Amino acid sequence: MARPLTILGIESSCDDTGAALVRHTPGARPQVLANVVAGQTDLHAAFGGVVPEIAARAHAEKLDLVVEEALHQAGLTLAQVDAIAVTAGPGLIGGVLSGVMLAKGLSVATGKPLVGVNHLAGHALTPRLTGQVAFPYLMLLVSGGHCQFLRVDGPEDFTRLGGTIDDAPGEAFDKCAKLLGLPQPGGPAVEAEARHGDPRRFAFPRPLLDRPGCDLSFSGLKTALMRARDALVAEKGGLTRADRADLCAGFQAAIADVLSEKARRALSVSPGVSAFAVAGGVAANALLRARLEQVAGDLPFVAPPLSLCTDNAAMIAWAGLERFRAGQSDDLTLSARPRWPLDSTAAPLIGSGKRGAKA
C-alpha cells in the first residue's frame, strides 16, 4: 500500500482523552496534522490517583468532542480519512471500551476500516513517527503502568528483554508524591522538587542490580522512601522543605540508576539494533533522558517530544497506520482488553488470571 494514508487515531486507555490525525507518504516524514488531548487531572486531584469510574464517564463525554476538534484543526472531514485506529487495550476497561465503541460507530457510519491498536505498541512505535527509526531498535517503554525493555523488529514484532515485576516507575513516582504530600501526577511534581534537593543524602536501595538480567523492581524503593519519611517525622515532628526535596532527589536518582544500568544490560544483548529509544510518560523526566543518552554512547538515542511521551492519539494513529499499511484491519468483533502484552510468547512478569497476562 504505497499511496499516502491519513489515519484518525483515538486514545482513551487511562485519564487522557485523545484524537489525532496522522498522514504519511512512503519515503517522506510522517505529518501529525492534529493532536488533541483532553486531560482529567482536575477530576482526579482530590483522590490522589485516577478513579476508573470517573475516567470512563469523562471519556464518554469528551471523545466525540476531541474527534471533532482534531478534524477541525486538520481541516479534514471523516470522508477524507483512510481508516480509524483506536486503542483496544491494555488499560482501564471503561475508558478503553468507550473509545472502541466510538470507533466502531464511526466505522459503521462512514464505511472506513477499523484498526485496533495495542496502547503499548503506540508508545513503542513512536520513535518511527518522530525519528523514522529503522527496525530493529531497542525500546525502553517507561510509563505510569508499564516498564519494559523491548527489541522492536516490526510493527507487530516485539521481544521483551525484561520488565518490572511490581510497580512501574510512573506508579512509583505517583506513590512518592502521595507520601510526601505533593500533587498528582507525581512524576512532574517529584522532578520539580528534586531540582532543589541533594540526591546523596539518603541511601536508597537500587533493587535487582545484584541480579543478572533486565528485570526491574520499584516496590522496595517506595517502601524505603516511606521509612525515611517516617524517621524524619518521628525525629522532627514533620518534614522541612529541604527534607522533602532531598527525599525526592534521592528517589529520582535511584530510579535513574536502576534504569540506566538495566538499559546497559539490554543493549549488551541486543546486537544489530539501529538505535536506543525511550517512550512513555516517565520518558519526559530530564534526568532519566540524560542518563539513558549517556548509556547509548555512539548508538543513536531517540526520545520523543514531551507532548508525545504521555498518552496521546498521534501514537495510536501512527501504530494503526503501520498495521493498515501492512494490510491489517479489524471488524466489529474487536473487543476492549484490560490486558494485552506485546510479547505474547514471554512468560508473564507479574502473573495472570482469567483476563490474561498482566504484563
Residue 280 confidence (pLDDT) above 90: no
Residues of the chain with pLDDT > 70, as a percent, come to 97
- Lookup: cell for 14: 487511562
The mean predicted confidence, pLDDT, of the chain is 93
Does 39 or 75 have the greater pLDDT score?
75
147 has which bridge partners?
Answer: 142
pLDDT of residue 353: 43
What size, in residues, is the chain? 359
The residue among 257, 168, 254, 244 whose CA lies nearest residue 204 is 254
Residue 146 confidence (pLDDT) above 70: yes
pLDDT of residue 211: 92
How large is the average pLDDT for residues 221-237?
Answer: 96
pLDDT of residue 357: 52
pTM of the model: 0.91
d(CA 341, CA 208): 23
pLDDT tens for 25-35 read 999 999 999 99
Residues of the chain with pLDDT > 90, as a percent, come to 84
CA atoms within 13 A on the CB side of 320: 34
CB 217 within 8 A of CB 187: no
Which long-range contacts (C-beta less than 8 Å, at least 24 apart) are formed by 53-58?
Answer: 53/94, 55/14, 55/15, 55/92, 55/94, 55/95, 56/92, 56/94, 56/95, 56/97, 56/98, 57/94, 58/15, 58/17
How large is the average pLDDT for residues 326-352?
Answer: 86
Which segment of 47-51, 248-252, 285-289 scores lowest on mean pLDDT? 47-51
CB 97 within 8 A of CB 19: no
Residue 343 confidence (pLDDT) above 70: yes
Residue 359 confidence (pLDDT) above 70: no
Confidence band (pLDDT; 50, 70, 90) for 349?
low
pLDDT tens for 172-204 read 999 999 999 999 889 999 999 999 999 999 999
Confidence band (pLDDT; 50, 70, 90) for 159?
very high
Count CB neighbours of 206 within 10 A: 14
Confidence band (pLDDT; 50, 70, 90) for 310?
confident
pLDDT of residue 145: 77
Confidence band (pLDDT; 50, 70, 90) for 354?
very low
Residue 143 confidence (pLDDT) above 90: no
Confidence band (pLDDT; 50, 70, 90) for 350?
low
Sign of torsion, CA 6 8 14 16? Answer: positive
Residue 44 confidence (pLDDT) above 80: yes
The string over 129-158, giving b where at least 16 C-beta atoms fall within 10 Å of a residue's C-beta and e elsewhere, is bbbebeebbbbbbbbbbbbbbbbbeebeeb
How large is the average pLDDT for residues 63-92?
Answer: 97
How large is the average pLDDT for residues 122-139?
Answer: 95
Count CB neighbours of 22 within 10 A: 27
Residue 355 confidence (pLDDT) above 60: no
Q: What are phi and psi for residue 36, nearest 5 degrees?
A: -105, 130
CA angle 170, 271, 208 (to 5 degrees): 40
